[in-house]
Amino acid sequence: MEKNAKIFVAGHRGMVGSAILRRLEMDGYNNLLTRTSSELDLRDQNTVSAFFKVEKPEYVFLAAAKVGGIVANNNYRADFLYENLAIQNNVIHNAFLTNVKKLMFLGSSCIYPKLAPQPLKEEFLLTGLLEDTNEPYAIAKISGIKMCESYRRQYGCNFISVMPTNLYGYNDNYHPENSHVLPALIRKFYEAKISGAGEVVIWGSGTPRREFLFADDLADACVYLMVNYNEEAFVNIGTGEDLSIKDLALTIQRVIGFNGTLKFDSLRPDGTPRKLLDVSKLTSLGWTYQTKLEEGIKLAYNDFLSKIPADI
């Protein structure tokens, strides 16, 4: 990937896209192409087609997506399915039509069956039923993987896919209902601390285990694979380490300095019991993560404090 190549980062304002943009800039890539959603609606076929014909990017990072936590995924099932399929269809197909040299599609670890063996190996895809609460989103992401595979097989396109684990970091979403668990807990503990509350209620039992990767580490892995990986099979990106939601909450509590107690609301859904990626393929390719969880939470919390949501 040449330093002056035209590189389109789709979704550059989101947590993942902005991290990829920072990584590319740090590495000296100087011809980066971005558009906000108001400038380019990736759900609109004609608009995307015109954009690719005019701009002719050479490389594409497809990090744009409609994302959210358990509640958002479950409440807006049609939106998550339709919008993600539309984005993927338009970008991947037009990358093919305009002879993009290489495209990277970013999926999600929710593509794996709910009760798949742990840790999750790439070959476990499509071997069982999905977790119901995020099934529409997962189906969209699986379709993206299969699109990249199919365009490679039929047309010889160098389209690759990566599957990140749960992410957190700069520019995260801290919405009280639509955010993922880690940023949601940062917000909860911060609000409890400033209000003097005696306890924080954690959704679910606290027993599910999750893996978390700092978004800037993901970006580093994405750029590394874009330069070094050219195969059909997708690649898991994660740490290979997990912890319980309870231990995650205790870690965030410690970072923020909340002195109250924790209460777990078992009436709320837990989601998948465990979700840990097997990253042996990634490490065999020469990449491992750098940011330890507590260090990353401190960085994310400082970013949160620098732009506290207006509704707090």
State the catalytic residues.
Answer: 137
Residue 272 confidence class, pLDDT cut points 50, 70, 90:
confident
Q: Write the single-letter amino acid at 195.
A: S
Closest CA to 123 of 138, 147, 145: 145
Among residues of the chain, what percentage have pLDDT more than 70? Answer: 100
Judge whether 201 lies within some domain.
no
The pLDDT score that the predictor gives to residue 175 is: 84
Judge whether 132 lies within some domain.
yes
Residue labelled with tokens 């009280």: 176
Instruction: Tell me how far apart the alpha carbons of residues 96 and 98 are, in angstroms, rounded to a whole number.
Output: 6
Closest CA to 292 of 217, 220, 231: 217
What is the biggest distance separating any 2 CA atoms in the chain, rounded to whole angstroms?
61
Closest CA to 248 of 187, 182, 150: 182
Residue labelled with tokens 């970008």: 91
DSSP symbols for 129-149: PPPGGGHHHHHHHHHHHHHHH
Judge whether 42 lies within some domain.
yes
Q: What is the dihedral of CA 289, 68, 120, 266, to 10 degrees?
A: 110
Judge whether 33 lies within some domain.
yes
As for how many domains the chain has, the answer is 1
pLDDT in tens, 32-70: 999 999 999 999 999 999 999 999 999 999 999 988 777
pLDDT in tens, 83-120: 999 999 999 999 999 999 999 999 998 899 988 999 99
Domain that holds residue 60: 7-167+213-240+277-291
Judge whether 300 lies within some domain.
no
The model's pTM is 0.94
Q: Quick check: 137 and 83 in contact, CB under 8 A? A: no
Judge whether 301 lies within some domain.
no
Judge whether 76 lies within some domain.
yes
The pLDDT score that the predictor gives to residue 77 is: 95
18 pLDDT above the threshold of 90: yes
Closest CA to 255 of 299, 217, 215: 299
Judge whether 196 lies within some domain.
no
Give long-range contacts, CB 8 A cutoff, 24+ apart: 172-177: 172/15, 172/215, 172/300, 172/303, 172/304, 173/15, 173/67, 173/68, 174/304, 174/309, 175/309, 176/311, 177/69, 177/71, 177/72
Q: Mean of the per-residue pLDDT values for the chain?
A: 95
The pLDDT score that the predictor gives to residue 116 is: 93
Residue labelled with tokens 């992410």: 167
CATH for 35? 3.40.50.720
Query: Would you list which residues are annotated within the binding site for NADP(+)?
Result: 11-17, 106-109, 141, 164-167, 180
Query: Would you list which residues are annotated within the binding site for substrate?
Result: 188, 203, 210, 270
Six token digits for residue 98: 């305009």
Buried (b) or exposed (e) across 10-21, using 16+ Cβ within 10 A? Answer: bbbebbbbbbbb
Give long-range contacts, CB 8 A cutoff, 24+ apart: 1-4: 1/29, 1/59, 1/102, 1/226, 1/227, 3/28, 3/29, 3/30, 4/29, 4/30, 4/31
264 pLDDT above the threshold of 80: yes
DSSP symbols for 15-40: HHHHHHHHHHHHTT---EE---TTT-
